[in-house]
C-alpha cells in the first residue's frame, strides 16, 4: 500500500531524474560512404556547412540536410578545418605532407598550400588577430598563419603536442598538450607562451571546452577517463569527474550550461555546470564506437559526430596490436539533438 511518504519520495526522485536529463539522442545519420580514416568535424554555423575530414579530402555537407555540397581534394592525412569567414577563406591541416590547404570557402577551390610545422593536427581561427593556428605534433610547436594572405607569421614554442584549443576571455589561446599533460596558454599576437598549467589528476588531455562567464576550462583526458575542471586564471584544478573511454573532442553550450565530450567508445558524455564549482552528470548519450570527435552548432544546439563501423581482428602474434578495419561505405555523421 502506498503511503504519502512513499509517494512524495517517488515524485522527488522523478524530479531529480528529470532535472539531470537532457533529452538528447541520435536523431539522424548523414551518410558519406567511401573508406579511409577520419578525425575532426568543423561547423560554419552561419553558412550552415559541415567540414568533415576524410583521409585525403574534406567532405563538405549541408548542416541541416546532410547533403554533400562539395569536396576539398588533395589533403593527405587531413585532421581538421578552420574557417575565416571575414575573408571567405578556409584552411585544412594536412598531416602527411606538413602543409595547410588554403581554399575559397564559397567555391571550395584551392587557393594555395602553405608549409607549416611537422604533422599539423588541430587547426583553429582567432577572429581578433585574424590568424589561423596549427598544432604540429611532429615538431611540437604551433604555426601561425595570416588568414587574409595565407602567409606564415611565426611559430609558438609549445614544446608539446597540441590537441583542442579555445580562446579565453583574456584573449589568450589555451591548448591541451597531449603528451605533457598540461594546458598551454599563448598570446596569439606575440606568439609567446604565457602559462603552463599541469593537470595532475589525469593524463593525455585531448578535448577542451570553456565557459567565458565562469572562466572555467573543461578538459577531457583519456588516461583514467575524466573531465577535469580548471580555473583558467590560476590553473587550479577545481574537481574531476568520470567520462567514457576514448575522448578526443569537447564542446560547450553556454545557454544550457552543458559540457559535451565525444568518446570513441561510443558515448557522448554530458555534464551540467550548475555554478563555477558545482557540476552534475546530465546523462550520457549512446552514439557509436569510433565517434570520438564532434562539432556543437550554437544555432540549433545539435551535436555532429563522424563515425564508421570498425571491426577488430586479433593480433597474429602475442603482444601485437589488433588489426582495425573500416567497413566500406559505413562512414556517416551522427546527429545528436533534443528529442
Q: Tell me: the pLDDT tens digits for 152-175?
A: 999 999 999 999 999 999 999 999
Q: What pLDDT was estimated at residue 175?
A: 98
Please state the length of the chain: 339
Residue 273's nearest CA partner among 225, 217, 235 is 217
DSSP code for 4? H
Sequence-separated (6 or more) residues with CB below 8 Å from residue 298: 45, 253
Model confidence at 106: pLDDT above 80: yes
Q: What pLDDT was estimated at residue 46?
A: 96
167, three cell numbers: 580562446
User: Residues 303-339: pLDDT tens digits?
Assistant: 999 999 988 888 878 877 888 889 999 999 999 999 8
Q: What pLDDT was estimated at residue 315?
A: 81
Q: From the CB of residue 258, how many other CB atoms can be counted at a distance below 10 Å?
A: 20
- 3-state helix, strand and coil shares in percent for the chain, rounded to the nearest 5: 5, 55, 40
Task: For the chain, list the domains and their CATH numbers.
Answer: 23-36+204-313+324-339 (2.130.10.10), 39-156 (2.130.10.10)
Residue 22: band (very low, low, confident or very high) from pLDDT cuts 50, 70, 90: confident
Model confidence at 11: pLDDT above 70: no
Model confidence at 1: pLDDT above 80: no
Model confidence at 140: pLDDT above 70: yes
Q: Report the pLDDT averaged over residues 204-208.
A: 98
Model confidence at 203: pLDDT above 80: yes
Q: What is the mean pLDDT of the chain?
A: 93
Q: Which long-range contacts link 324-328 to residues 24+ away (Cβ below 8 Å)?
A: 326/35, 326/36, 326/37, 328/33, 328/34, 328/35
Q: What pLDDT was estimated at residue 15?
A: 35
User: Residues 30-54: pLDDT tens digits?
Assistant: 999 999 999 999 999 999 999 999 9
Q: What pLDDT was estimated at residue 19?
A: 38
Residue 89: band (very low, low, confident or very high) from pLDDT cuts 50, 70, 90: very high
Sequence-separated (6 or more) residues with CB below 8 Å from residue 57: 71, 72, 73, 74, 75, 78
E-assigned strands of 169-232? Answer: 173-177, 182-186, 193-198, 203-211, 216-223, 226-231
Q: Report the pLDDT averaged over residues 282-303.
A: 98
User: Residues 220-268: pLDDT tens digits?
Assistant: 999 999 999 999 999 999 999 999 999 999 999 999 999 999 999 999 9
pLDDT over 90 percentage in the chain: 88
What does each C-alpha distance from 194 to 78, 120, 152 come to in angstroms? 29, 22, 21
User: Residues 266-287: pLDDT tens digits?
Assistant: 999 999 999 999 999 999 999 9
Nearest-angstrom CA–CA distance, 161 and 20: 35
Residue 293's nearest CA partner among 142, 94, 79 is 79
Weakest mean pLDDT among 3-12, 107-116, 225-234, 237-246? 3-12
Q: Report the phi/psi class of residue 266: left, alpha or beta, with left for phi > 0 and alpha for psi in -120 to 50.
A: left
CB 206 within 8 A of CB 176: yes
Query: What predicted TM-score, i.e. pTM, was given to this entire model?
Result: 0.92
200, three cell numbers: 595532475
Q: From the CB of residue 292, how many other CB atoms can be counted at a distance below 10 Å?
A: 26
Amino acid at each position: 500500500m502506498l503511503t504519502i511518504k512513499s509517494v512524495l519520495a517517488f515524485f522527488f526522485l522523478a524530479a531529480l531524474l528529470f532535472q539531470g536529463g537532457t533529452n538528447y539522442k541520435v536523431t539522424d545519420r548523414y551518410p558519406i560512404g567511401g573508406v579511409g580514416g577520419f578525425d575532426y568535424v568543423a561547423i560554419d554555423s552561419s553558412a550552415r556547412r559541415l567540414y568533415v575530414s576524410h583521409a585525403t579530402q574534406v567532405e563538405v555537407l549541408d548542416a541541416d540536410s546532410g547533403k554533400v555540397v562539395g569536396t576539398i581534394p588533395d589533403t593527405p592525412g587531413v585532421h581538421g578545418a578552420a574557417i575565416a569567414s571575414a575573408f571567405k577563406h578556409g584552411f585544412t591541416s594536412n598531416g602527411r605532407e606538413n602543409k595547410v590547404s588554403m581554399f575559397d570557402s564559397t567555391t571550395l577551390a584551392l587557393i594555395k598550400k602553405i608549409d607549416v610545422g611537422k604533422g599539423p593536427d588541430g587547426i583553429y581561427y582567432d577572429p581578433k588577430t585574424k590568424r589561423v593556428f596549427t598544432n604540429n605534433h611532429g615538431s611540437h610547436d604551433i604555426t601561425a598563419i595570416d588568414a587574409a594572405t595565407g602567409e606564415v607569421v611565426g611559430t609558438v614554442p609549445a614544446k608539446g603536442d597540441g590537441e583542442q584549443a579555445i580562446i579565453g576571455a583574456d584573449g589568450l589561446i589555451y591548448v591541451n598538450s597531449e603528451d605533457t599533460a598540461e594546458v598551454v596558454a599563448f598570446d596569439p599576437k606575440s606568439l609567446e607562451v604565457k602559462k603552463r598549467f599541469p593537470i595532475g589528476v589525469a593524463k593525455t588531455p585531448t578535448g577542451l571546452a570553456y565557459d567565458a562567464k565562469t572562466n572555467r576550462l573543461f578538459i577531457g583526458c583519456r588516461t583514467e577517463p575524466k573531465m577535469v575542471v580548471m580555473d583558467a586564471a590560476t590553473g587550479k584544478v577545481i574537481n574531476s569527474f568520470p567520462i567514457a573511454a576514448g575522448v578526443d573532442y569537447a564542446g560547450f553550450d553556454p545557454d544550457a550550461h552543458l559540457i559535451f565530450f565525444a568518446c570513441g567508445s561510443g558515448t557522448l558524455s554530458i555534464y551540467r555546470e550548475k555554478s563555477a564549482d558545482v557540476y552534475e552528470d546530465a546523462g550520457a548519450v549512446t552514439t557509436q564506437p569510433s565517434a570520438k570527435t564532434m562539432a556543437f552548432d550554437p544555432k540549433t544546439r545539435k551535436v555532429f559526430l563522424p563515425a564508421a563501423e570498425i571491426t577488430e581482428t586479433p593480433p597474429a602474434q602475442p603482444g601485437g596490436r589488433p588489426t582495425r578495419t573500416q567497413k566500406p561505405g559505413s562512414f556517416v555523421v551522427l546527429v545528436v539533438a533534443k528529442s
